[in-house]
Amino acid sequence: MHLKQYALALILTTLAGGAEVSASGSSSVGEDKLWYSSPAGKWLDALPLGNGSLGGMVFGGPNVERVQFNEQTLWLGDEIEMGSYQPFGDLFAGWSHSEPTDYRRELDLSDATHRVVYKANGVTYRREAFASYPDQVLVMRFTADKPGSYSGVIRLTDAHQAKIIADGNRLMSVGRLSNGLEYEAQAWILQEGGKIVSDNATLRIERSDKVTLILAAGTSFANDPSKNWRGDAPHRRVTSRLEAAAKKSFEQLHAAHTADYRNLFDRVTLRLGDGPSAKPTNERLAARRKGDADPDLEALLFQYGRYLLISSSRPGGLPANLQGIWNADLKPAWYSGYTCNINLQMNYWPAELTGLSECHEPMFRWIQNMAVVYKRTKDERVRTPKGRGWSNYSTTNPMGGTSHWGVHRPNSAWLVQHMWLRYEFTRNKEFLRTVAYPAIKEIVEFWEDRLVAGPDGKLITPDGWSPEHGPVKKGDKIVLQEGDRTPHPGVSYDQQIVWDLFSNYIDASAALGVDPGYRAKVASMRDRLLGPRVGKWGQIQEWMEDVDDPKDRHRHNSHLFALHPGRQISPLTTPEWAAAARVSLNARGDVSTGWSKAWKINLWARLYDGNRSHKLIGELFKVSILDNLFDSHPPFQMDGNWGYTSGVAEMLLQSHLSEEGVPLLHLLPALPSAWPDGKVVGLRARGGFSVDMEWKRGKLVSSVIRSTVGTKCRVLHAGKKVEFQLTPGSQKVFQIQE
């Protein structure tokens, strides 16, 4: 890959630590709103609210508001059996007024608030809703510009037919799933003016000026295998949350919610076009599907991914599942679970890159829990005879229960890669020492005990398979077969993930200055691993044998893990393998499932081919982004939203390569011609950096690089490299002159 050269005079100015420029931009940059001129007709038109555990899909119906809600621990199944993620219930508010005009509903990503406005019988009605992390409730307020305008009925329903109880101005649903999990939801209704009457498990509102609904929900789930996943009944917790929130004003609740949310969301802003659009989001999407340019919509989808991660993954909760936290189905696709051969990992690709490291924590806690669960099982499919380390099944629930469909033994190595990423981006030594290092080391031991000698003495994994299509031996031939899981030695997916694991371990032990002897042993094992191989038609081989079919369009890109999210293949460090990866990607093609295309945006970005990444963005919009901007496999799957956000970040900034331990920050490595002008603020880079960049006519014009921990840094742009040392809190400002 010939890196374009042009004269580049970097004028560097170093500002003292105190001159920190605010890393957060203004959220009105591109007016981050999804908006529509009609209410949601179906669930996949509704808009999501979430606080990391309580989620709601808001329909915005003027005469009947429906909020279908979830609480992320409401799972069937247990530590052995998969079960499935369950819907909780619905909150309905039915009003009696005439047909609306001037209707608009919107989700404002700048304050994570859903709003509806419309006119009816000469009155202007407004509605605001949000899900608060600090107060752990979902709040919706109804107001009007004429007193006494609200008369109607508030209803709570339960997806599992639990009895609904009306008690004063409170509606409650209390139930128990077939696996013994207890659950409870309570809706508190506050009205100003008029009156409220309890009426056969509903609440009737008569001529009120304002109505506020506050919803809390919980279960007896404990995110702790030592407690066998069970804690207290939810009643006390749900009641105290609700009553505490009811004592606050709507303004106080909203202010606390907004402050908490903006502390995360405002860390990164992105502008790709010339600003807000006058068209509703669904109309913009229809035009984009036809191929019309809309860089602001592409920036909006980037920020939507960050919004969805903040809304579905917060410290103390469970990781975002296949649908984030939103699910209306009693039998959701793939259980709405954690599939660990791409999907769960993709959910978290944007976490460190886009300043949402806190949202990564539920995944780390889950990995630690899985280590406990899988180390106490006798299942030799996920253990070794020596009993060191563990791996897990391909599809699991929050407790480690599985569909038993298949085991991907490198999965746990891929999962702990995320712990290493948290350290790389934050340089948090305490996290590395207490959480990441022990978790990574025991998986290294798992593979030290499992690797076997392969051809020419190379170390290979003995019994893998390449997600999710074989190969199988038919006679003396090897053929590819969807879903085949016949154990097979030396599969590229296995080899590349183990190489990554060993590399992360080596860097982690060096960063901590521990276990030099074992580090040397692991380095020697890594060097003996069977590495990526270039096959007969110039491709990266998916298996040890050169059996790849050039017409194979499988959705998984498992044999390109080393290009992304791994770091073994790169045009800069291994140009031959990178060229072969390009051949493989071209052969796989651009048409596939939503998450597969999202992965390819990242893969092409790692090959520095921004226009090809942007072509994949077009393919994603064409068939895999729904009117509410959810990703579709099909069916709806949220991993593609997060793979997309990660892909856009990788097109703008990469930092996975380092030289003698110094991170290499590659600015605008894959800028497409479709984004000639733009500005990004606050993207994160390995080494504890945050980076702003502005470009015009496709060329970088300025950049600010801030160091949180004060380290050396190398910056690469357009083939030119500069190195400098920063002190904690200081920054470098680049003005680029051609």
Q: Which residues bind ligand FUC (CB under 6 A)?
A: 322, 334, 339, 343, 468, 555, 593, 595, 633, 637
- Listed in order, strand segments (DSSP E) in 73-169 are 89-95, 101-108, 113-120, 123-132, 137-144, 150-158, 164-167
Q: In angstroms, what CA-CA distances link 105 with 62, 171, 276, 457? A: 10, 26, 16, 64
Task: State how far the Cα of 501 lies from the Cα of 443, in Å rounded to an integer.
Answer: 8
Complex with ligand FUC: residue 339 or 354, whichever CB lies closer: 339
Complex with ligand FUC: residue 265 or 636, whichever CB lies closer: 636
Task: State how far the Cα of 96 lies from the Cα of 105, in Å rounded to an integer.
Answer: 19
Do residues 684 and 690 lie in contact, with contact meaning Cβ atoms separated by under 8 Å?
yes
Provide the minimum distance between the beta carbon of 324 and ligand FUC in the complex, in angstroms, as a whole number: 13
Task: State how far the Cα of 118 lies from the Cα of 37, in Å rounded to an integer.
Answer: 10
Do residues 151 and 96 lie in contact, with contact meaning Cβ atoms separated by under 8 Å?
yes
Complex with ligand FUC: residue 329 or 515, whichever CB lies closer: 329
Q: What is the DSSP string of 267-317?
A: T-EEE-SSS--SS-HHHHHHHHHTT---HHHHHHHHHHHHHHHHHH--TTS
Complex with ligand FUC: residue 186 or 624, whichever CB lies closer: 624
DSSP lists the bridge partners of residue 562 as none
Provide the minimum distance between the beta carbon of 334 and ligand FUC in the complex, in angstroms, as a whole number: 4
Contacts for 297 with CB less than 8 Å, ≥ 6 apart: 277, 281, 284, 285, 288, 621
Provide the minimum distance between the beta carbon of 327 and ligand FUC in the complex, in angstroms, as a whole number: 13
Burial call 336-362: b when 16+ CB within 10 Å, e when fewer: bbbbbbbbbbbbbbbbbbbbbbebbbb
Complex with ligand FUC: residue 441 or 633, whichever CB lies closer: 633
Question: What length is written for the chain?
Answer: 738
Q: Which of 68, 113, 114, 70 is nearest to 321 (CA)?
A: 70
Q: Which helix (H) or strand (E) holds 580?
A: helix 575-588
**Interhelix angle for 575-588 vs 594-606, to 10°?**
150
Complex with ligand FUC: residue 343 or 392, whichever CB lies closer: 343
Q: What sections of 433-542 are H helices per DSSP?
A: 437-448, 492-512, 516-528
Q: What sections of 349-482 are H helices per DSSP?
A: 349-353, 361-375, 411-426, 429-431, 437-448
Complex with ligand FUC: residue 446 or 595, whichever CB lies closer: 595
Provide the minimum distance between the beta carbon of 578 and ligand FUC in the complex, in angstroms, as a whole number: 25
Complex with ligand FUC: residue 304 or 334, whichever CB lies closer: 334
Do residues 195 and 47 lie in contact, with contact meaning Cβ atoms separated by under 8 Å?
no
Q: Which residue carries 């006494």 as its tokens? A: 148
Provide the minimum distance between the beta carbon of 468 and ligand FUC in the complex, in angstroms, as a whole number: 5
Complex with ligand FUC: residue 321 or 354, whichever CB lies closer: 321
Phi/psi for 594 (5° steps) reads -60, -55
Complex with ligand FUC: residue 345 or 707, whichever CB lies closer: 345
Complex with ligand FUC: residue 155 or 418, whichever CB lies closer: 418
Do residues 700 and 733 lie in contact, with contact meaning Cβ atoms separated by under 8 Å?
no
Complex with ligand FUC: residue 266 or 494, whichever CB lies closer: 494
Do residues 97 and 121 lie in contact, with contact meaning Cβ atoms separated by under 8 Å?
yes
DSSP 8-class letter at 688: T
Task: State how far the Cα of 260 lies from the Cα of 72, in Å rounded to an integer.
Answer: 20
Provide the minimum distance between the beta carbon of 335 and ligand FUC in the complex, in angstroms, as a whole number: 9
Task: State how far the Cα of 579 lies from the Cα of 583, in Å rounded to an integer.
Answer: 7
Complex with ligand FUC: residue 143 or 632, whichever CB lies closer: 632
Do residues 616 and 600 lie in contact, with contact meaning Cβ atoms separated by under 8 Å?
yes
